[in-house]
Structure 1
Amino acid sequence: MLHLAAALDQPSAHDEPSALDPPSVHDADPYVALARLAERGGLDFVTLGDTFARPGPDALSVLSRIAPVTGRIGLVPTVTTTHTEPCHVQAAVATLDRVSRGRAGWRIEVSSTEGEARLSDVVARLWDGREEPRPPQGHPVRVVDATDGPTRRTAGRYADVVLVRAVSPAQVIAVRDQLRRYAVEFGRDPDALRVLASLAVDLGDGEYAAEPGHGGGGPRPTARGPLYRGGPVDLAELITSWYQDGTVDGFHLVPTEPRRDLERLVNGTVALLQHRGLFRTFYPGGTLREHLGLTRPAIRYETTEGAS
């Protein structure tokens, strides 16, 4: 099944100075409207970056506000372990999983050092302390951007969903093959990895109107990463081609203008993919793991009956 996700914020500020949320956006209300729109389109999940990359409220706080007013869509904040202790990260993400009734994920900012990468495993072990206080999904879904080479080993070992920024199917396939090898090396089922192509999208140019090099020809490389610029119909063609060729499991789409682009994505691209039978028209389950076809992890630490 094709998986689709979207960012609630624009491409990060360090990639392009103009790619900031509007300065007036300092509360959760605009994000609530965007998340409801994405849910209406049946998207698997939405992501939101941390406050180090954009002005406004903390991503966890925003998505905790969104959780009670949505019912199905997954909620994935960026939470860094560099600035937050693992025990606080696990508690915060577990709380989001509970208030959303099993729809939380965690986008992990991974450095190239193995020591920091292992912090994500520390968090998972804290979730496994006892069955009773575990989050509804066991482990909220872990999302890692594995575009850069040093992060791929970490993604193969710990991630459930892997984002890859690439301008061609060949680039994605090369990364995907490497991720699968790492997964096998660490005793994981490589088929349990969900690999999504991550693209910035600018849907402001009409229904078709893909510029040369965009649309069916693929996204263009830019300073902020791969960019598709055109219309929602040509974006549907790109998504269909990459998915049906077996290149990716789906797409993570980052709007250049969130309100405009997400509306055109849902009403145009998603509607066309649904018409073709490539994307869901309703959520068959309630948790993010169910949306992604992932099983609930077994608890690692079993206690014997009667143990103190």
Structure 2
Amino acid sequence: MTGPIGRGPLHLAAAIDQTAPPASSPADSYAELALLAERGSLDFVTLTDSFARPGLDALAVAASIAPRTGRVGLVPTVTTTHTEPFHVQASVATLDWVSHGRAGWALDVSATEAEARLFGRRGAAPLDRLWDEAGEVADVAARLWDSWEDDAEIRDVATGRFIDRDKLHYVDFRGRGFSVRGPSIVPRPPQGHPVRVVDATAPEARGTAARHADVALVRAASAERADAARAELRALAARSGRDPRTLRVFAALVVDLGGGEHAAEPGHGGGPLPTAEGPSYRGGPVDLAELIADWHRAGAVDGFHLTPVEPRRDLERLVNGTVALLQHRGLFRTFYPGSTLREHLGLARPVNRHAALAGEPS
């Protein structure tokens, strides 16, 4: 692994969303993109999902491509609105088992009345209330992941004992809109807690990101704005009682690398411009590498999450051009230092809260 720049090692992630994957083999097309990202040693790939539009279930797609990849992290979006927290955490934990510790979870909320009508349980709610609920879901998920201690499974054939019941725990969580007793039906995930990702651009999401996210995404069109958002999130994290150094903040950019090796288009000046979809960079892989290096060297962000305009074309140019150049300059790793997503991000595996209370090793 190469040495760090700025305030820590550089991290890179990419979206592999497709507007219209091939109907005959959609899993193959997603797996190909994930493997391409893995070839560039990217930390993780994301798959966006929403009740507001038709498409494949991101969590199911991630599970389908997990056995076909070996190192890259897999982070599907799973909304916390209109879904059951117990089922959500069990599904994310299962993805962590299937991927051998490479699972993440991009938390999101569903704010429209049209989405609410799909379920018919309740109406739409304000964003601040939805993100407060998302924080409670993230909290109870962590508690349920800890409801099995790491050595709760005995698997003693001679005695017929599969589980040490003394190492299974009720969570007895009661929130504003739901309550969960537990324990989980899935053993503690390989990572302890799968990585939680939150887009913290909206003010209503920042508190939840600061308290519960391992990775926060910020849509900022300049290094100065990204740095300000990072400072705010880390201050909020400290006030919530967590170590702010455990929060990774990524700049989220839409990238159009159709310009090949040419300079950034006029008006971009080598940097992104605000658009309806978020900050957008349009230019060549070399200029994008310069932007990434400059922002990170200045300490504005811990990494970048890049959404290609054209998935296959732009991801290929990102890996073969931008990433290769960063690696050549010693600014980004050339291989994965570990096997789990937490290891990619330099995050420790959380100690099980019940083992910690008992004074036992995790």
TM value normalised by structure 2: 0.78
Say if 1:78 and 1:108, in contact at 8 Å, map to a contact too. yes
Matched, 1:253 2:271: no
> Where do 1:197-276 residues align within 5 Å?
197-214=251-268, 216=270, 218-276=271-329
Picking from 137, 140, 145, the partner of 1:122 is 140
SS in 1 for 2:207: helix
- For 2:319, give the aligned amino acid: V
| d(CA) in 2 for partners of 1:199, 1:60 | 23
Relative to structure 1, the CA distance from residue 53 to residue 31 in structure 2 (aligned partners, 3 Å threshold; closer, same or farther) is farther
Say if 2:21 and 2:29, in contact at 8 Å, map to a contact too. no
Relative to structure 1, the CA distance from residue 56 to residue 263 in structure 2 (aligned partners, 3 Å threshold; closer, same or farther) is same
Count of residues paired in the alignment:
295
Task: Please name the residue that 2:128 is paired with.
Answer: 112
Relative to structure 1, the CA distance from residue 304 to residue 280 in structure 2 (aligned partners, 3 Å threshold; closer, same or farther) is closer
1:215 Cα offset (Å): 5.3
1:83 Cα offset (Å): 2.7
SS in 2 for 1:63: helix
Relative to structure 1, the CA distance from residue 51 to residue 156 in structure 2 (aligned partners, 3 Å threshold; closer, same or farther) is closer
Task: Please name the residue that 2:156 is paired with.
Answer: none
Q: Percent identity, aligned pairs only? A: 69
RMSD value, Cα: 1.7
Say if 1:48 and 1:59, in contact at 8 Å, map to a contact too. yes
Say if 1:215 and 1:237, in contact at 8 Å, map to a contact too. no
1:84 Cα offset (Å): 1.7
Say if 1:9 and 1:21, in contact at 8 Å, map to a contact too. no
The structure with the larger Rg is 2
Displacement over 4 Å in runs of 4+:
22-26
SS in 2 for 1:71: coil
- For 2:283, give the aligned amino acid: G
Structure 1, unmatched stretches of 5+, are 11-19
Task: Please name the residue that 1:13 is paired with.
Answer: none
| d(CA) in 1 for partners of 2:49, 2:38 | 21
1:26 Cα offset (Å): 7.3
User: Deviation string for 1:14-56 (max 9, x for gaps)?
Assistant: xxxxxx3458587211101000000001000000011535543
| d(CA) in 1 for partners of 2:315, 2:240 | 37
Task: Please name the residue that 1:2 is paired with.
Answer: 10
Say if 1:23 and 1:55, in contact at 8 Å, map to a contact too. no
Matched, 1:290 2:343: yes
TM value normalised by structure 1: 0.91
| d(CA) in 1 for partners of 2:50, 2:358 | 43
SS in 2 for 1:188: coil
